[in-house]
Amino acid sequence: MSRYSTNDALVILCNPTYAFGIVLEPAEEITEWIKAFNFIVPGKFWYYPLSLQLDIYESYFDWLEEQGFTRKLTAAPVIVPICDWLHTQKVLSKEFRMKKQDNSILSRAELVNEFINQILDKDYNN
């Protein structure tokens, strides 16, 4: 029997492939960026309409690719309802904010915060 670590589980839980049908590589890197997003995203984000949450996540995935942090590969079938994936991210977000994070997540979180502020100021606060 093989054993899985907490990080193995996070790679699966944070992977947008299952809900969005997009493959972002490298998987470990996207996990770290999703963790940073979940750590820094304001609590009110989870009360935004589902369509707005989806727009922000999709913009985030595009931003990660534009910045050269990840790359999109071929499309994949969606196997998890988007609302379930978002709920998982909400739960992880609460957990991440309650725990001390390493410098890798904190430095990524600073960049993510800039992205969130830009996207919310530009598109959603009008």
14 lies in some domain: yes
pLDDT in the model for residue 93: 86
| pLDDT averaged per 10 residues in sequence order, the chain, 126 residues | 67 82 88 88 86 91 93 87 89 81 81 84 58
100 lies in some domain: yes
1 lies in some domain: no
40 lies in some domain: yes
Q: Give just the sign of the alpha carbon dihedral 80, 54, 68, 100.
A: negative
82 lies in some domain: yes
The answer to whether residues 35 and 64 touch, using CB atoms and an 8 Å cutoff, is no
68 lies in some domain: yes
- pTM here? 0.81
pLDDT in the model for residue 65: 94
23 lies in some domain: yes
Parent domain of 91:
6-124
- Tell me how far the alpha carbon of residue 18 is from its chain's centroid: 13
pLDDT in the model for residue 99: 76
- Tell me how far the alpha carbon of residue 89 is from its chain's centroid: 7
C-alpha distances out from residue 19 to 47, 79, 80, 98, 120, Å:
19, 6, 5, 26, 23
Q: What is the number of domains present in the chain? A: 1
The answer to whether residues 15 and 31 touch, using CB atoms and an 8 Å cutoff, is yes
CB hemisphere CA count around 48 (13 angstroms): 19
42 lies in some domain: yes
